[in-house]
Amino acid sequence: MQLDFLLLLQDGLKPIQVAALRDIRDVVEVLLPLTSPVPNISNWSTDGLIEFMQSAEASKEQASRREVDLPRSAILHKTEMVEVTPESKKRSVEAKSRGDDAFRKKDYQMAVDAYTQAIDLDPNEAALLSNRSLCWIRLGQGEQALADARACRALRPDWAKACYREGAALRLLQNFDEAASAFYEGVKLDPENKELVDAFRETVEAGRRFHGTEQQQKQ
Residue 11 lies in a domain: yes
Residue 105 lies in a domain: no
Residues 6+ apart with CB under 8 A from 67: none
Residue 94 lies in a domain: no
Query: What are 125-172's pLDDT values in tens digits?
Result: 999 999 999 999 999 999 999 999 999 999 999 999 999 999 999 999
DSSP designation for 46: H
CATH code of the domain in which 191 resides: 1.25.40.10
Please report, for the chain, how many H helices and E strands are present, in that order.
Answer: 13, 0
Whether the CB-CB separation of 200 and 180 falls below 8 Å is answered with yes
Residue 109 lies in a domain: no
Would the CA dihedral through 87, 100, 147, 182 be positive or negative?
positive
Top-confidence residue, 159 or 79:
159
Residue 119 lies in a domain: no
DSSP designation for 84: -
Residue 190 lies in a domain: yes
Query: What are 161-204's pLDDT values in tens digits?
Result: 999 999 999 999 999 989 998 998 999 899 899 999 999 989 98
Residue 131 lies in a domain: yes
Number of structural domains, the chain?
1
**Would you say the pTM of this structure is higher than 0.75?**
no
Residues 6+ apart with CB under 8 A from 118: 92, 93, 95, 96, 99, 125, 128
Residue 12 lies in a domain: yes
Q: Show the domain range for 143.
A: 2-81+124-218
